[in-house]
Amino acid sequence: MIIKNPAKIEETSMQIIGSELSEMGITIPEENRAAVFRAIHASADLDYATNLVFTDGAVRAGVEALKKGAAIITDTNMMLSGVHKKSLERYGNDAVCYMSDPEVAAKAKELDTTRAEVSMITAASKYPEGIYAVGNAPTALLKLADMIEDGMRPSLVVGVPVGFVNIIESKDRALEVCRQNGVPAIIACGRKGGSSVGAAILNALIYEAAGRE
């Protein structure tokens, strides 16, 4: 039977994910369940049931930050486009990405570094307590780690860059620094990740904050 109703498609997908994880003997803590399920739903990859690492209370911290109006900062416009803006209206949260900002591009050229790194510096000057989500650029995640060591305190770091170069190193460093400094974090260990996964995790938090499934 072909299912065409969008809500029914999502509902059935979540049921399938739950069933397959159960068959694998994997149980997700209730607090993290929505984020994990949405990451799997966005990628059709059950590995996210085991490679997503949550610091204690990370989901709760993200939800509470959203309820207090925290901004969301992404490292790609693709992730930004996947964030459910309508659900952010309840608390008036900004959602931004500075990757296409001409001043960021010029500064990156001047410093001979990546736009992703400079975009994090730019965002930190405006939203030091924002929710930062990195789905593409490990240099953005590494810069976040540096700034946290220097005293920046984001409400949450979602680190899910994807690829082969600097990926694992950036995630390991970000997780270690966040733990050492009490910054809530959700990190996808290993090489897997991406903007769609980052957006899915953010939306899980956004929907909970907005009071919807």
How far apart, in Å, are the Cα atoms of 182 and each of 32, 54, 172? Answer: 18, 12, 15
Range of the domain at 65: 6-210
- pLDDT for 9 equals 83
- Give me the sign of the Cα torsion angle 180, 181, 185, 191: negative
Note whether residue 1 is domain-resident: no
Q: Would you tell me how many other CB atoms lie within 10 Å of the CB of residue 16?
A: 13
25-41 pLDDT, tens digit each: 999 999 999 999 999 99
Note whether residue 191 is domain-resident: yes
149-202 pLDDT, tens digit each: 999 999 999 999 999 999 999 999 999 999 999 999 999 999 999 999 999 999
> Looking up tokens 């540096």, which residue turns up?
146
- pLDDT for 213 equals 53
What pTM was computed for the model?
0.94
Task: Quickly state the pLDDT bin for 22 (edges 50, 70, 90).
Answer: very high
Any idea which residues carry the catalytic annotation?
41
Mean local confidence (pLDDT), 82-108: 95
Q: Which residues contact 1 (CB under 8 A, 6 or more apart)?
A: none
Note whether residue 203 is domain-resident: yes
Domain count, the chain: 1
Which of these, 196, 198, 208, 186, lies nearest to 90 by C-alpha position?
A: 208
Question: What is the CATH number for 137?
Answer: 3.40.50.10230
Task: Quickly state the pLDDT bin for 6 (edges 50, 70, 90).
Answer: confident
Note whether residue 84 is domain-resident: yes
CA dihedral 192, 194, 198, 199 (to 10 degrees): -140
